[in-house]
Amino acid sequence: MRIYQGWLSAATVLTSPNADLRPDESDISLLVIHSISLPPGQFGGGHVAELFTNTLDPNAHSYFAEVANLKVSAHLLIDREGVVTQFVPFDQRAWHAGVSEFAGRPACNDFSIGIELEGIDTEPYTDLQYQRLAEITQCLIVEYPALTKERIVGHSDIAPDRKTDPGLAFDWAYFRKLLTT
């Protein structure tokens, strides 16, 4: 697995329009772990990709009417089977963090990479997701030296008043152990 011109070689590409240029494309120094499922608590179906590509049908499920017009994305999505989809190249700003702050610095989208795990806060993530996340994280740390193991956080860490993901079900100790092997 490697990164070439901002794209991960092991990912399927579905380009999201919900991205733009970073203020400084060389300033990639934070990794934000998220979780998402659409509809909430249901996995599969491709609805997350539809949300990130602005093609989610608001009539397909009652919850979709609430979120179909959101303009959001992440750099990557890792589904329950460990399959990786990339929506935004790493050198661009994905719209994943919203109003956020890390170490006194606001606007985390400007300097972070966002990875979504298909899941919910209260249900364990799969081993395949942890394995893939660890592999990708190690690749990102090599490619972007300002991104260190100490600068990996959950969405809840940078937006604690409004976000809870990846939630209590995310096993940080296990994930960090995978990074050391």
Q: Are β-strands 12-13 and 84-86 bridged in parallel, bridged antiparallel, or unpaired?
A: parallel
More confident residue, 25 or 31: 31
Percent of the chain with pLDDT strictly greater than 70:
99
| pLDDT of 59 strictly over 90 | yes
pLDDT of residue 180: 79
* Candidate list 101, 116, 118, 143, residue with the active-site label: 116
pLDDT tens digits, one per residue of 99-147: 999 999 999 999 999 999 999 999 999 999 999 999 999 999 999 999 9
pLDDT of residue 18: 98
| pLDDT of 91 strictly over 90 | yes
Is 116 among the catalytic positions?
Answer: yes
Report the pLDDT averaged over residues 145-169: 96
| pLDDT of 181 strictly over 70 | no
What domains does the chain contain, in order, with CATH numbers?
A: 3-180 (3.40.80.10)
Q: What confidence tier does 27 reach under pLDDT thresholds 50, 70, 90?
A: very high
Report the pLDDT averaged over residues 167-181: 93
Cβ neighbours around 83 below 10 Å, total: 15
pLDDT of residue 55: 97
* Residue 21: exposure state from Cβ atoms within 10 A (0-12, 13-18, ≥19): exposed
Amino acid letter, 128: L
